[in-house]
């Protein structure tokens, strides 16, 4: 995996241990091993352009206040869940770090236009031949 362009600093992230959901027997009821990660986009040290693109995302993990909330509970280890949550946050930041290429508008060539019109005419002729024959004289 390539190195992130804009790494998220761990001191800007707030972790809180919570109890995991789902099946797990007695262990799930007594151990807080799931992690809630909270990352305030507006107060982070990321460049302003990255902040704007993150806030413009329509992602359910980003609140109206501009805070990213990620819940990690795949592992039984609190540390593994912290690493997983940080990786998911970094992936979110990396997804907006590189701008997509702008599309250049092009026009079809003359021969492509001619072929398209010819195929439309041919198709129209085929459909005309399916029409009912009018009863004549």
> At 50, which CATH number?
3.30.160.20
C-alpha atoms less than 13 angstroms from C-alpha of 44 in its C-beta half-sphere: 27
DSSP 51-67: HHHHHHS--TTB-TTSE
Q: How confident is the model at residue 7 (pLDDT cuts 50, 70, 90)?
A: confident
Q: In this structure, is residue 47 part of a structural domain?
A: yes
Q: In this structure, is residue 110 part of a structural domain?
A: no
Alpha-carbon span 48 to 80, nearest angstrom: 31
Q: In this structure, is residue 23 part of a structural domain?
A: yes
Q: In this structure, is residue 39 part of a structural domain?
A: yes
Q: In this structure, is residue 117 part of a structural domain?
A: no
Q: In this structure, is residue 4 part of a structural domain?
A: no
Quote the DSSP letter at residue 11. Answer: G
* Lowest model confidence (mean pLDDT) among 63-67, 75-79, 83-87, 103-107: 75-79
> Could you give the number of structural domains in the chain?
1
Contact (CB, 8 A) for 20 and 73: yes
Predicted TM-score (pTM) of the model is 0.68
Q: In this structure, is residue 70 part of a structural domain?
A: yes
Q: Which domain holds residue 32?
A: 10-97
Alpha-carbon span 8 to 29, nearest angstrom: 32
The terminus-to-terminus CA distance of the chain in angstroms comes to 79
């Amino acid at each position: 995996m390539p190195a992130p362009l804009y790494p998220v600093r761990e001191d800007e992230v707030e972790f809180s241990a919570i109890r995991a959901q789902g099946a797990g027997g007695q262990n799930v009821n007594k151990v807080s091993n799931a992690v809630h990660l909270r990352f305030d986009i507006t107060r982070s040290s990321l460049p302003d352009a990255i902040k704007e693109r993150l806030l413009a995302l329509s992602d359910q993990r980003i609140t109206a206040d501009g805070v990213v909330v990620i819940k990690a509970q795949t592992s039984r280890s609190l540390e593994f869940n912290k690493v997983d949550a940080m990786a998911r946050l970094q992936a979110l930041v990396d997804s907006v770090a590189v701008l997509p290429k702008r599309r250049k508008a092009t026009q079809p060539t003359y021969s492509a236009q001619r072929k398209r019109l010819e195929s439309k005419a041919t198709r129209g002729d085929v459909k005309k031949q399916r029409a009912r024959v009018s009863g004549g004289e």
